[in-house]
Structure 1
Amino acid sequence: MTDLVRALRHLGSLRAQTRHLSLEQLEQAHSNLAAVVEEDRKRARDAALAKMQRDAVLEKAVRMIHRSGVSLESVLAALEALDLASQAKSAVKALGPDKSVD
């Protein structure tokens, strides 16, 4: 079922449920919905801005790598190795100190 059809079904259901509400209750519900929509828009704007900033940093890093003459593949391999090392350290920390008896 498409989002539009789902939304139309919900609107019909909401309309039936709101017939018994007072004008003040309807205005409050509208205000609450408007606040939710505005918050969603703000989150979307913030996410888009954060993505643009991440992309700019990555683009700058790639330019620096190209200028240095190092291959991007070797940098990615080194980063992968660092990530694996970091994951291994995290796993060791999660296990706790070695309590084996010699």
Structure 2
Amino acid sequence: MKLILISAAVLTATGCTSMPPVTPPTGPCGVDDAMRRRFIGTDFKLTMRDEIQYGANARTARVLRPDDAATMDMQPDRLNILLDDNGKVNDLRCG
């Protein structure tokens, strides 16, 4: 019985560590040099999207690959995660 309770506690604790913050980002989006240094050049994984979006305080985020069609409307609370041909983060831009 103790083993089951310990296992449940461990699973609960590890599950909480990967959850995004409860408070959603409010915008406007903001990307600083520290964020760029941290993410540019890294292999993009979809699981990174929330972390980058929350770090930029962006209400929305979109991932754009080369030759992807994208609207050109300016939205100050949107983050654009730009990837290169190899799937690496090439730039982070608000708008």
Q: What's the TM-score once normalised by structure 2's chain length?
A: 0.27
Select the structure with the greater relative contact order (CA < 8 A; seq sep ≥ 6). 2
Q: Which has the higher strand share?
A: 2
Q: Which has the higher helix share?
A: 1
Q: What's the TM-score once normalised by structure 1's chain length?
A: 0.26
Structure exhibiting the larger radius of gyration computed from Cα positions: 1
